[in-house]
Amino acid sequence: MNLTEFASGSTILVDKPLKWTSFDVVNKLRWNLKQKLGVKKIKVGHAGTLDPLATGLLIICIGKHTKTINDIMVGEKTYTGKILLGKTTPSYDLESEYNAEYPVDHITAEIMEEVRTSFLGDQEQVPPIFSAKQVDGKRAYDIARAGGDVKLKPNSIHISDFTIDAQNFPEIAFEVVCSKGTYIRSIAHDFGKKLNSGGTLIELRRTRSGDFSIDEAKTVDEWIEIIQDSAL
């Protein structure tokens, strides 16, 4: 890919590293593009946020391609990860400390299979209070971190596939195929709740978004090297 392609409009696939925000990736790539192109401004955006504790496919749109972001975001997503049963956190993942423990001895393979199938299809899902949802003009996570009371309305979502592997119980490995707007942290939390226990998302990776796959993605450093080595 040459610099003209970057500047005029391009879509690149990044394997987002752990603990980076999606905006960290955008800002890093934008800075390098501006330096290489010798410009003060260039449009760079992402098509679907990943939490800092998630890794995997982040679609970055540059220049005129930023106009396609909304079209890309409606695509079905695939995630893999791990749920720890028997514990919960306020954020439903490891962003916050464990705040409760629950028994897991009563959970059988049959019960887990029954709960797993209950997630398939159309449903209403309540987002985590530690999310970027707007509540009275404020981000829900800002209110939650300040100790405020957060009430969020449920989203209509669709889960077309949900597989689990319990060989390392109480850690449950999973793969889920879902619609836009699905919170995997909420699936982890609700999965534990439906088992009369608790659940926390302890690992998450996005492997697909629409027609784009993680197999085609490069690291941030690899993209920076491509940008630096590009010519007009």
Q: Which two tokens stand for residue 196?
A: 């009369």
**Euclidean distance between CA atoms 195 and 115, whole angstroms:** 7
Q: Which two tokens stand for residue 50?
A: 């990943």
Q: Which two tokens stand for residue 226?
A: 């491509």
What are the CA-CA distances from residue 44 to residues 20, 30, 190 (Å)? 17, 6, 35
**Euclidean distance between CA atoms 168 and 113, whole angstroms:** 16
Selecting among 51, 71, 122, 229, the annotated active-site residue is 51
51 is catalytic: yes
- What Rg value do the Cα atoms of the chain yield, rounded? 19
Residues 6+ away with beta carbon under 8 Å from 55 = 15, 16, 17, 18, 204, 205, 206
How many CB atoms sit inside 10 A of residue 36's CB? 18
H/E stretch holding 84 reads strand 77-85
Active site residues: 51
